[in-house]
Amino acid sequence: MPRSVHPAPSGSTAHAGRGTRLGGSLRKAGFGLLVAVAALATASALAQPAAPAATPSAARPTAAAAAADADQAADVIAAVRAAAAAYATAFNARDLRALAAEWTQGAELDEGAIVTKGREAIMAALADLRTAHPEATLAITVLGVQPLGATAARVQGTLAFTSRPGAEPRVSHFDSLRVLDAGAWRIAESRVVPTARAALADLGWMVGTWRSADATTGTTIDATYDKSLDGHALVGRITITRKDGSKLESLDVITADRATGLVRSLLVDSTGARAEGTFATDGTTFNRTIEGTPADPTLGDRVRWVQVLAPAGPDGLVVHAIDRTIDGRPAPDRAPVHFRRANPVPQPR
């Protein structure tokens, strides 16, 4: 929001192997060599001056330092947790000034597909989010804090964003760096990765049946999208019916990458063509960058385009294929295709 490391045990096996090899060499050298080595070792040990015994006073500063470090870490953890709580409070109160104070001037927000740099740009995104979801609330759960001295700490936790009362929260994981800046614990960098279900929630409006009819060409397109795999995938089935009655069918499977939150898709059709895509959004429109191989080699070996999906109200959708290339050569954009929802979404009275 806003819109989002055990070493293996030291080689005991290697040490045992080396000891076995050395033991074989000693046996070959004979018992007399063993006695000589033992005598030399004993004489050497007796010749060494005894190490001075540690005094109790020498240990006291170390214990005091450890206690001071523990107190400092506890203070950092408490301050960082308080700062995270203040962030949620400011968001829910729509206090953009207080939210801005939570970020350093050069802060960086990494949301996978989008990286926003600088306090001003981050706040512009937050303001847009607040405008689009005026009733939204945010809950922050801090799961871990690792102090990095007295002036920095890494923080991990979850963000639960609820767009409106009664809506399902969209949960994301975050890993942030907070630093003590001018007396306040501010966010210097933050990486936000939504859960798979949360990442797909932005495309929830696609669920349903859509139709486009072109009176000029006599072509109709019917598309039905459903949630699948307990909300971890969207599956679309699309049928294009031409004027002569011939059909082209395709399957569109949309999922989210667990590690990055990036939304990906796989498209296959009844001609054997196959393509993969990735989604990005500015909060209003959705761009899917698609690259694949046509079934017919005369159409090219590699095609690429950007599919722009622009919702037009709750029951309208415009799909436009732009920036097309065929084997690296530019190709004309397609004409926009207008869809209407076959099962309109009931509107509140």
- Name the residue with tokens 């303001």: 127
- Residue 94 structure tokens: 């729509």
Same domain, 100 and 210: no
Indicate whether this model's pTM tops 0.75: no
Residues 177 and 101 in one domain: yes
Residues 175, 154: contact at Cβ < 8 Å? Answer: yes
pLDDT of residue 13: 35
Q: What is the largest CA-CA distance in the chain?
A: 106
| pLDDT tens per residue across span 246-302 | 999 999 999 998 777 889 999 999 999 999 999 988 778 999 999 999 988 888 999
Residue 66 structure tokens: 């450890």
Q: Is 32 a domain residue?
A: no
Give 289-301 as a DSSP string: EEEEE-SSGGG-S
Residue the block writes with tokens 């989002």: 4
- What pLDDT is attached to residue 198? 82
Q: Where are the alpha helices (DSSP H) in 30-145?
A: 31-47, 56-92, 96-100, 119-132
Q: What is the CATH number of the domain that holds 108?
A: 3.10.450.50
Q: Is 27 among the domain residues? A: no
Average pLDDT, the chain: 83
In a shared domain, residues 175 and 255: no
211 and 328 inside one domain: yes
The answer to whether residue 244 sits within a structural domain is yes
Q: Which two tokens stand for residue 306?
A: 């950007």
Residues 211 and 304 in one domain: yes
For residue 9, pLDDT beyond 70: no
Examine the domain organization and report whether 216 and 292 are in the same domain.
Answer: yes
249 lies in the same domain as 171: no
- Its domain, for residue 76, covers 68-194
- Reported as a single tens digit per residue, the pLDDT across 159-173 is 999 989 998 898 999
